[in-house]
């Protein structure tokens, strides 16, 4: 199982008939962080009339919220959300602040402006794929640790941590379920059978695209 999220914040600004639409899209771990982004926009642009938002959280996009913040219903939050989900993103929040320029845009114009601001922010965004991985700890002699770590990384397996002791080193690795057998064989070969994989649960791992 996997899904896409952002590597970092992205921003954009659109101007439509003198109205300015300022967008920020941010990776967020939970609803509290998403709401904090909305509050941040309100502080930064306190004179603006609308701070519309959309966020989607969870590997299955289970938690979804939208807000039109005073704009006509359905003209801001949902179009913004559609951009996020259309790209397969999750664990992300988008906020678009509007400074009114004096000209009414109509429902269609608002939909295009709010969705367009989010899309513009995401044009050059760096994406990350999050993957569900099996976590294992491997305890090896200090003299074997460097060779094993290098071999594991060369196979594209994520090394999440290395703990050095006086005579032993513990590597924590994250591996795809289908590659566990191959990793076991690698560990056995390098350590001459003296080390093995110790299960440490499952977790999500970031993989740059």
CA distances from 148 to 179, 202, 209 (A): 16, 21, 25
pLDDT in tens, 95-122: 999 999 888 899 999 999 999 999 999 9
Q: Which residues pair with 189 in a beta bridge?
A: none
Whole-number Cα distances in Å, 110 to 82, 128, 169, 189, 197: 14, 30, 58, 62, 55
The pTM assigned to this predicted structure is 0.85
- Percent of the chain at pLDDT > 90 equals 88
Is the domain of 83 the same as that of 171? Answer: no
Does residue 94 share a domain with residue 74? yes
Looking at the structure, tell me whether residues 26 and 75 fall in a common domain. Answer: yes
Same domain, yes or no: 90 and 44: yes
Q: Are residues 85 and 7 in the same domain?
A: yes
37 and 113, same domain (yes or no): yes
pLDDT tens digits, 43-95: 999 999 999 999 999 999 999 999 999 999 999 999 999 999 999 999 999 99
Do 121 and 140 fall into the same domain?
no
Query: Using CA atoms, how far apart are residues 66 and 77, in angstroms rounded to an integer?
Result: 5
How many distinct structural domains can be found in the chain?
Answer: 2
Residue 127 pLDDT > 90, yes or no? yes
Task: Note whether 39 and 110 are same-domain residues.
Answer: yes
pLDDT at 54: 98
User: Of the residues 99, 125, 151, which one is the last residue of a structural domain?
Assistant: 125
Residues 101 and 168 in one domain: no
Mean pLDDT of 117-144: 94
Which residue among 125, 154, 183 closes a domain?
A: 125
Please name the helix (run of DSSP H) or strand (run of DSSP E) that holds residue 24, with its range, or none: strand 19-27
């Amino acid at each position: 199982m996997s899904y896409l999220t952002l590597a970092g914040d992205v921003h954009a600004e659109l101007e439509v008939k003198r109205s300015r639409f300022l967008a920020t899209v941010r990776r967020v771990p939970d609803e509290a962080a998403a709401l904090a982004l909305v509050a941040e926009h309100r502080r930064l642009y306190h004179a603006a009339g609308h701070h519309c938002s959309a966020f989607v959280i969870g590997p299955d996009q289970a938690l979804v919220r939208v807000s039109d913040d005073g704009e006509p219903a359905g003209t801001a939050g949902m179009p913004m959300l559609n951009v996020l989900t259309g790209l397969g993103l999750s664990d992300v929040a988008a906020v678009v602040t509007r400074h009114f320029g004096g000209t009414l845009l109509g429902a269609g114009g608002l939909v295009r402006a709010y969705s367009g601001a989010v899309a513009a922010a995401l044009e050059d965004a760096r994406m990350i794929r999050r993957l569900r991985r099996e976590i294992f700890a491997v305890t090896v002699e200090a003299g074997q640790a460097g060779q094993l770590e290098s071999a594991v990384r060369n196979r594209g397996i994520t090394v999440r941590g290395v703990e050095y002791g006086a005579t032993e080193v513990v590597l924590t690795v994250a591996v795809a379920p289908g590659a566990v057998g191959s990793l076991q064989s690698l560990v056995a070969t390098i350590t001459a059978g003296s080390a093995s994989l110790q299960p440490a649960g499952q977790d999500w791992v970031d993989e740059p695209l």
